Amino acid sequence: MTTKQIAVLVTNGVEDIELTSPRQALVDAGYEPILIGTQAGELIYGKKGTTFKLDRGIDDTRPSEYQALFIPGGYSPDHLRADSRFVDFTSTFFDKQKPVFAICHGPQLFITGGLAHGKTMTAYKTVQPDLQYAGAEVKDQAVVDDGPLITSRNPDDLPAFNAAIVGYLQVVPVV
C-alpha cells in the first residue's frame, strides 16, 4: 500500500501548537496527518483549549497504513503511554524502522515501550533525564535526527522540527 498518511497519536492535554504547527507543515508538503486516539469521531481538547476531532480509533487502524508516526507533546503522551495499545502501535514503527517524529513529552511513549535504549534524541527538559535513565543518548538541542527517529524539545523549536520532519519524508521512499 502506498500512502502519504502520517499517524498522529493524540489525546486530551496535547500542547496545541505542537500538534497544529507540524500538522500544517505536513499538509503543506502534501502529507495527510491522521489523528488517532481512543475512538474515531471523539473530540479532544488541547491544553490551550483547541478542539480536535479524532479521525480514527486505535483499534480501527494499523501501523502498516502509515508512512510515519508523529507524537506531539503536552500531557497527551503521558496519558497515552498508560494504554498498551498506543505503546504497541509506537513499537511497531520502531520495529519496522519507519520514521518516528516526537516533540516535547512525546518520547515518554518510547520510555514505556523500552524503545529509548541506544537511540540519540532530545525532549522537553524534564523528560531528558528519564530518557538518559532509559539508555538514550540525550542532546539538548532544537532537533536531533537519529533517522528514522527525529525529536525536538519544545514549541520554540517548531520551525526547525517542522523543516526536519518534512525534509526527512521527502527523501525517504513512500511505502
CATH code: domain 5-171 is 3.40.50.880
Asked if omega into 107 is within 30° of 0 (cis), the reply is no
**Burial of residue 101, with CB atoms counted within 10 A of its CB: 0-12 exposed, 13-18 middle, 19 or more buried:** buried
What was the pLDDT predicted at 172? 77
What residues pair up with 137 in beta bridges, in sequence order? 120
Residues constituting the chain: 175
Place of cell 527525529: 150
Cβ atoms of residues 66 and 1 within 8 Å:
no
Q: Which of 10, 44, 71, 104 is catalytic?
A: 104
pLDDT tens digits, 102-151? 999 999 999 999 999 999 999 999 999 999 999 999 999 999 999 899 99
Cβ neighbour number for residue 31 with a 10 Å cutoff: 22
Q: Where are the domains of the chain?
A: 5-171
Q: How confident is the model at residue 1 (pLDDT cuts 50, 70, 90)?
A: very low
Q: Active-site residue 104, yes or no?
A: yes
Phi, psi of 29 (to 5 degrees): -90, 5
pLDDT tens digits, 6-56? 999 999 999 999 999 999 999 999 999 999 999 999 999 999 999 999 999
Alpha-carbon distance values, 113 to 77, 91, 151, 161 (Å): 12, 7, 16, 23
Residue 8 to residue 35: CA distance in whole angstroms: 5
Q: Among residues 157, 144, 134, which one has the least CA distance to residue 21?
A: 157
